Structure 1
Amino acid sequence: MQCQTLVLGAGIVGVSTALHLQARGRQVVLIDRNEPGSGTSHGNAGLIQRSSVTPYAFPRDLKTLARYSLNRQSAVRYDWRYLPRVAPWLLRYWQQSAPAPLADATRAIQPLMQRCVSEHDPLIEAAGAQALVRTEGWIELYRDPNALAAATADAANLGPYGLAFDLLDRQQLHAREPSLSQAAIGAIHWLDPKTVSNPGALVRAYARLFVQRGGQFIHGDARSLRQVGGGWQVSSQRGPIDAREVVIALGPQAAEVLKPLGYAIPLESKRGYHMHYQVRPGMSLRHSICDVEAGFVIAPMDQGIRLTTGVEFAASDDPGNEIQLKRCEVIARSLFPLGERLDRQPWLGRRPCLPDMRPVIGPAPRHEGLWFNFGHAHHGLTLGPVTARLVAEMMCGEVPFTDPAPYSAGRFV
């Protein structure tokens, strides 16, 4: 079997990449060992996060570092056994979180963030997925007056980015979310982002659109990728598939495929969990709410109220646990009356992160016909369609909508 382009990975990034290449006339086959949207794209907080103009940086102040070092926080947890292995990566992450490199990362990510909502919109409409998307924004909630004051000052400095938001005192916050407890003292309501009530279903809707437009989705193993003659080949349930070019859009699994090809790109997984809860009679949650201090989100989903945790550093293939989820759940219940758990066990996902807080997008430095689109960290759902546009423009010889140099794999080679 032959095609022009193989896209490896059927999460939001891979499916969006397949759609953009298809729209430019390419014959595309989308490959994944699982169903579309069943990996990391399935379990996130459902935020198309236009308001996140600054990447999630490593803490630099000693007070926060000392608190996290005790490994008792809900926002960040680490496995002691994994610490020696991840320590060099964390050092690079800490170095890149200094003011100057963080400012560079912020500038680099802006052209992508500015278009994140507008790139989703035509796909949502074409896929008939409007019922999955809400336009009420999301709420950044605070329990501590000092933290609220600092966040309010930071928001006031974001004028150049053209973001719309409301500053809410306790009374205004509870008018918008009456079921919150009095522990919530204020918030910032970001109005530009959109939220998704079932992120996995949105990815599957995009995948159906790809197939309806003539594309093929085939189960296969990306780890079988190899060069054959002047092109690439991957094994699938339908036998070998050959293509002139291939896009690696595998999220946290990208490093596993690239290592045999000689690419040591420093990709690390930030693990995270979710659990769904019943909505108690008489209670309601109208918006997705992020407790910044505790590092979790509670969001109204089709499956119930979804609680998503912060970051866990542990071996990617280690089994999941409930340590971080339980810590978050205690705090979440003090803010909102969560009902009974609905899932038999917590869902575990892996966010693909790079130490300089920007994805890898563009051609492979040493292999013709090999292209990258991975490393979206906490913003896979947010940035999937816009980075898909960028890599498709590059592959098809169009003028890219923004300079792709900040995302080049060459920075690690």
Structure 2
Amino acid sequence: MAELKADVLVLGAGMVGVSAALHLQKRGRNVVLIDRHEVAGEETSHGNGGLIECASVFPYMFPRDLGQILRYAFLRAPQVRYHFRDLPAFLPWLTRYFLASSPERALHSAMAELPLIQRSLIEHEALIAEANVPELLRRTGWIKLFRSEATLAGAVGDLERARQYGVEGEILDTAAIMAREPHLTGDFSGAIHFPAPGFVPDPGGLAKAYSALFGRKGGRYLVGDARTLEQSGGRWRVATLEGTITARDVVVAMGPWSDQIFAPLGYSIPLQVKRGYHLHLKPRGNAVLNHPVLDTDLGYLLAPMNRGIRLTTGAEFAHRDAPPTPVQVERALPRAHGLFPLGEPVDAAPWKGARPCLPDMLPVIGKAPRHGGLWFDFGHQHHGLTLGPATGRLLAEMMTGETPFADARPFAVERFG
């Protein structure tokens, strides 16, 4: 079987990898997407709240409030779960996460990512138009509900802080909540509606639409094992079902599995995962959910996906490949039934995924320092869907010698030593 050749191999066909492939292709590169699945968007990109979060200026940092930390530590908060037996393995990373979440360092992360956040919806809109899938973007924004005055006040303070960076939000009382979502029930102190973020009712489908666009423009998609990657004679090669393929450059965009590539090559990057779950349910009767709705105090989100109402959970700290433990879904279900008239599950079982996270909640984007032609694009934490096209553009500009639209230095792997 003849050896195949390309300019760039992109490992991983989630939102991040497909977006990078499209931006490189746009700049004249012969790109091949490689994934273990036959179609794109089957892993992390498949399971999320569907939000293109252009209003999320501040990343999800480790809390600094002692009371909140203790609630998390003793599993008294629905937003976080872990197994005590796994704590020794996670503690060093959690310590780095805590240190990176100081007010000064958290602001640094926020300002570094701000140009990407501000560009996120713009880049998606361009790709959605080119892929001709306007039905996969709804301009509804989303709603955060609050059941206590304290959490509402904290969120209002965060909104006022974010307004200086162009974020808009409308504070809602109970009557305004019911006007927007008449089928919700509950005792709320208030809510905030963020109108700007886009909502994608089929995130995995959007990744597939982008992959199809890549194919129509001449890109190749191959099924292969990225772990076979090796460098020889100034080129990188990977084994695929269609034979070995080689290229001068390779992009690691494998999300929570990126360590399968960088670790054997000798890079010590503190990548960890936050696992999450979702379950689709039918609405009862003629009930309609108009926006994604976060029940902030109870730690779950409902989103009106094409497949049904998607119930998503908070973070579970567990080994990436450990068996699923969907306790958060089980605990959230009765609370969600009390919020919205949900019917029978559409899925046979909850879906499990993993969010790839670095301690400073910034992705790694850029050139590997010790291997020619090796590039990184992973670690997008809770914002893979949001940031994929923006970081794909940033990486492609770096790889092709253009002036990057944002400062790429905060995302360099060298920040970890």
TM-score normalised by L of structure 2? 0.98
TM-superposed CA distance for 1:98, in Å, is: 1.0
Q: In 2, Cα distance between the equivalents of 1:407 and 1:217?
A: 27
Aligned partner of 2:313 among 303, 309, 321: 309
Give the equivalent residue in structure 1 for 2:105.
101
Q: Does the Cα contact within 8 Å between 1:252 and 1:375 map onto a contact in 2? A: yes
Question: 3-state SS of the aligned residue for 1:162?
Answer: coil
Q: In 2, Cα distance between the equivalents of 1:271 and 1:284?
A: 29
Question: 3-state SS of the aligned residue for 2:320?
Answer: coil
Give the equivalent residue in structure 2 for 1:194.
198
Q: In 2, Cα distance between the equivalents of 1:40 and 1:407?
A: 21
TM-superposed CA distance for 1:75, in Å, is: 0.6
Say yes or no: does 1:22 pair with 2:32.
no
Q: Structure 2 matches for 1:346-357, cutoff 5 A?
A: 346-357=350-361
TM-superposed CA distance for 1:79, in Å, is: 1.4
User: Structure 1 residue runs of 4+, over 4 Å off?
Assistant: none
TM-superposed CA distance for 1:296, in Å, is: 1.8
Question: 3-state SS of the aligned residue for 2:81?
Answer: strand
Q: In 1, Cα distance between the equivalents of 2:76 and 2:406?
A: 42
> Which residue identity lines up with residue 204 of structure 1 in the other structure?
K
Question: 3-state SS of the aligned residue for 2:288?
Answer: coil
Question: 3-state SS of the aligned residue for 1:260?
Answer: coil
TM-superposed CA distance for 1:293, in Å, is: 2.2
TM-superposed CA distance for 1:363, in Å, is: 0.2
Q: In 1, Cα distance between the equivalents of 2:344 and 2:403?
A: 52
Q: Does the Cα contact within 8 Å between 1:183 and 1:334 map onto a contact in 2? A: no
Q: Does the Cα contact within 8 Å between 2:186 and 2:338 map onto a contact in 1? A: no
TM-superposed CA distance for 1:321, in Å, is: 1.9
Q: Does the Cα contact within 8 Å between 2:281 and 2:343 map onto a contact in 1? A: yes
Alpha-carbon displacement from aligned partner over 1:156-211 (angstroms, at most 9, x marks no partner) = 22222112221101110111000111323311100110000000000000000000
When the two chains are superposed, the root-mean-square deviation of aligned CA atoms in Å is 0.9
> Which residue identity lines up with residue 28 of structure 2 in the other structure?
G
Alpha-carbon displacement from aligned partner over 1:200-255 (angstroms, at most 9, x marks no partner) = 00000000000000000000011111111111011100111110000000000001
Aligned partner of 1:247 among 240, 244, 251: 251
Q: In 1, Cα distance between the equivalents of 2:299 and 2:389?
A: 26
Q: Which of 358-367 and 60-69 deviates more?
A: 60-69
Q: In 2, Cα distance between the equivalents of 1:25 and 1:238?
A: 24
Aligned partner of 2:324 among 320, 325, 348: 320
> Which residue identity lines up with residue 382 of structure 2 in the other structure?
H
Give the equivalent residue in structure 2 for 1:285.
289
Aligned partner of 2:65 among 46, 53, 61: 61
Give the equivalent residue in structure 1 for 2:115.
111
Alpha-carbon displacement from aligned partner over 1:52-92 (angstroms, at most 9, x marks no partner) = 10000111111111111212432100011211101100000
Q: Does the Cα contact within 8 Å between 2:256 and 2:356 map onto a contact in 1? A: yes
> Which residue identity lines up with residue 16 of structure 2 in the other structure?
V
> Which residue identity lines up with residue 379 of structure 1 in the other structure?
H
Q: In 2, Cα distance between the equivalents of 1:46 and 1:123?
A: 16
Q: Does the Cα contact within 8 Å between 1:73 and 1:327 map onto a contact in 2? A: no
Aligned partner of 1:229 among 233, 244, 259: 233
Q: Which of 37-46 and 288-297 deviates more?
A: 288-297
Q: Which of 345-354 and 323-332 deviates more?
A: 323-332
Give the equivalent residue in structure 2 for 1:204.
208
Say yes or no: does 1:412 pair with 2:416.
yes
> Which residue identity lines up with residue 128 of structure 1 in the other structure?
N
Q: In 2, Cα distance between the equivalents of 1:286 and 1:316?
A: 33
Q: Structure 2 matches for 1:87-166, cutoff 5 A?
A: 87-166=91-170
Say yes or no: does 1:6 pair with 2:9.
yes
Q: In 1, Cα distance between the equivalents of 2:174 and 2:17?
A: 42
The runs of 5 or more residues in structure 2 that have no matched partner are: none
Q: In 2, Cα distance between the equivalents of 1:277 and 1:326?
A: 13
Q: Does the Cα contact within 8 Å between 1:184 and 1:335 map onto a contact in 2? A: no
Alpha-carbon displacement from aligned partner over 1:258-288 (angstroms, at most 9, x marks no partner) = 1110011110010000000111013110000
Say yes or no: does 1:392 pair with 2:402.
no
Give the equivalent residue in structure 2 for 1:31.
34
Identity level (%): 52
TM-score normalised by L of structure 1? 0.98
TM-superposed CA distance for 1:330, in Å, is: 2.5
Aligned length: 413
Q: Structure 2 matches for 1:250-269, cutoff 5 A?
A: 250-269=254-273
Q: In 2, Cα distance between the equivalents of 1:356 and 1:221?
A: 30
Q: In 1, Cα distance between the equivalents of 2:62 and 2:43?
A: 25
